[in-house]
Every structure is written in C-alpha cells, then in structure tokens.
C-alpha cells in the first residue's frame, strides 16, 4: 500500500508533530523531575510531583501512543516500509519499548503524586530520574536514526526489492542493424 504524495505528507507531518511533542513533553517532565529531587521547598516539590503526573498522563502518554500509531501508518504507506530497512525497524523497536516502559512508569508517577499530596514533607521521595533520562536518550536515538537513515536492508527488504525487480516489465531490445 503506497499513499498518495499529499496523504503521505499529511501523515508525515502528524508523525513529526507527535514525535517532537513527545520529546518536548519529556524535556518538560525531566525539568520537573530534577526539581522534585533537588528542591528544598516542600511546596515546590509537591507541585513538581503534581505537574509530573499531569504531563505524563495528558501529554506524554497520548503523544507517545499517537507517535507509535502514526509512525507505523507512515512506514507502511511509504517505500521505506516497516520491516525493509534496519533503521526503520530499530526506530519501531525503540519507540515501542519506550512507550511500553512509559505506560508501566505512569503507575509510579501517580503513586509519587499521591505520596507528595499526603506527606507533610515530600522532599524524600525518590523521583524518576533514571526513567526520565532513559526515555530522553531513547527518543534522541530515534531522532538520530530519522535524520541519518543508516544504510542496511533487512532480509525481508532484499526479498521485496528482488520481487519488485522481477515484476517490472523489461523493455524489448531493438536490433538496429
């Protein structure tokens, strides 16, 4: 299935917007996470945990899921394909892995927000810096793969290329003599 150029550009635009939005939301979340674990102000720490929960539930998770979905549609509707090139496959695996860990981590963030609300002093809560930084690194790797598109075709990609070559009609040789 190949999309028309107009549809392909629309899907690509949505994919870039959701992916960049996900990256930006993770950066905002990381800033709050650092604040939550380093601030000496009880109110600031409590507010940071509340804001972290809001960002993860209403920005990061929806953008991550949209990015995975739209990226998959984009890959399936273009000549790049989903399983033809190693860089596309690596992006898919990194993105799905990051989204899965994110979904699991939302429970921890909600717990921390509830603990910050009920604790007289939430400054001792652990934060989620390892996950925040890990998520950011994963997203930056997908950006690098998108920009540089390292060469390398999967076995499936080679098979598809050979099938396409064989199915193209050859022009008859004209003898000029």
The more confident residue out of 56 and 164 is 56
The pLDDT assigned to 167 comes to 82
Categorize the per-residue pLDDT at 161 as very low, low, confident or very high, splitting at 50, 70 and 90: confident
How far is CA 108 from each of CA 96, 112, 114, 136, rounded to the nearest angstrom?
A: 19, 6, 10, 18
Categorize the per-residue pLDDT at 69 as very low, low, confident or very high, splitting at 50, 70 and 90: very high
Instruction: Say how far apart CA 89 and CA 103 lie, in whole Å.
Output: 21
Note the pTM of the prediction, 2 decimals. 0.87
**Cα angle at 156 between 9 and 138, to 5 degrees?**
60
How far is CA 25 from each of CA 1, 7, 37, 53, rounded to the nearest angstrom?
A: 33, 27, 19, 12
Token pair recorded at residue 35 = 């604040």
Instruction: Say how far apart CA 49 and CA 55 lie, in whole Å.
Output: 10
Categorize the per-residue pLDDT at 142 as very low, low, confident or very high, splitting at 50, 70 and 90: very high
**Cα angle at 112 between 108 and 118, to 5 degrees?**
145
Which helix (H) or strand (E) segment holds residue 155: the answer is helix 155-167
Write down the residue that tokens 């925040």 correspond to. 132
- In the chain, what percentage of residues exceed pLDDT 70? 94
Domain range annotation of the chain: 5-163
Q: Which residues pair with 153 in a beta bridge?
A: 85
């Amino acid at each position: 299935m190949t999309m028309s150029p107009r549809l392909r550009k629309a899907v690509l635009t949505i994919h870039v917007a959701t992916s960049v939005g996900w990256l930006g939301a993770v950066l905002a979340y990381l800033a709050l996470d650092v604040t939550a674990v380093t601030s000496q102000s009880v109110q600031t720490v409590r507010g940071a945990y509340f804001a972290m929960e809001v960002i993860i539930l209403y920005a990061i998770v929806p953008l991550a899921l949209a990015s995975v979905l739209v990226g998959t549609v984009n890959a399936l509707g273009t000549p790049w394909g989903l399983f033809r090139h190693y860089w596309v496959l690596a992006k898919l695996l990194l993105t799905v892995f990051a989204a899965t860990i994110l979904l699991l981590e939302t429970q921890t963030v909600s717990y921390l927000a509830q603990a910050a609300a009920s604790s007289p002093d939430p400054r001792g809560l652990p934060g989620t810096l390892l996950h925040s930084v890990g998520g950011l690194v994963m997203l930056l790797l997908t950006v690098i793969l998108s920009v540089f598109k390292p060469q390398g075709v999967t076995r499936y990609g080679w098979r598809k290329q050979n099938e396409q070559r064989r199915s193209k009609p050859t022009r008859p040789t004209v003898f000029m003599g």
